[in-house]
Copies of this chain bind each other. A is one copy, B any other.
């Protein structure tokens, strides 16, 4: 069982958190055959937290959790805070493989998406 956890910052504006939840839901059918589950978690403010998101995935049977930072730049959150949260759960569940991907801003497809969005 392989699980994808999309991690966003979390906002005081609930509509922004809801957008992230919707994104995770949209990914479920697209991820079929590659991930058995997709969910989201938030570093701050919104729920679930990263530990709670990982916990739910493990309880659902995940043996691999791929954590993806839904961030555009590599600030402290990406470089330190997310790895620390994941490491805490990794220590708790050493038998589950956990790893963190590049953050969204580094995805090679971003420039093409921007040009498409620009109607260029």
Contact B35 A120 (CB under 8 A): yes
User: A118–B68 contact, CB under 8 A?
Assistant: yes
Q: Does A105 contact B (CB under 8 A)?
A: yes
B residues less than 8 Å from A110 (CB atoms): 23, 104, 113
Q: Interface residue count for A (Cβ, 8 Å)?
A: 44
Q: Is the interface of A mostly helix, strand, loop or mixed?
A: mixed
Chain B positions within 8 Å of A23 at CB level: 110-111, 114
Copies in the complex: 2
Task: Known A8-B72, A73-B19; judge A26-B111 contact (CB<8 A).
Answer: yes
Residues B112 and A16 in contact, CB atoms below 8 Å apart: no
Tell whether, in the assembled complex, residue A72 and residue B72 are in contact, meaning their CB atoms are under 8 Å apart. yes
Please state if A30 and B115 are interface contacts (CB–CB under 8 Å).
yes
Residue A119 interfacial (CB < 8 Å) = yes
- What is the CB-to-nearest-CB distance from A12 to chain B, in angstroms, rounded to a whole number? 9
Given known contacts A6-B114, A35-B118, what 7 new A-B pairs fall within 8 Å (CB)? A19-B73, A34-B118, A35-B120, A68-B117, A68-B118, A107-B113, A109-B113
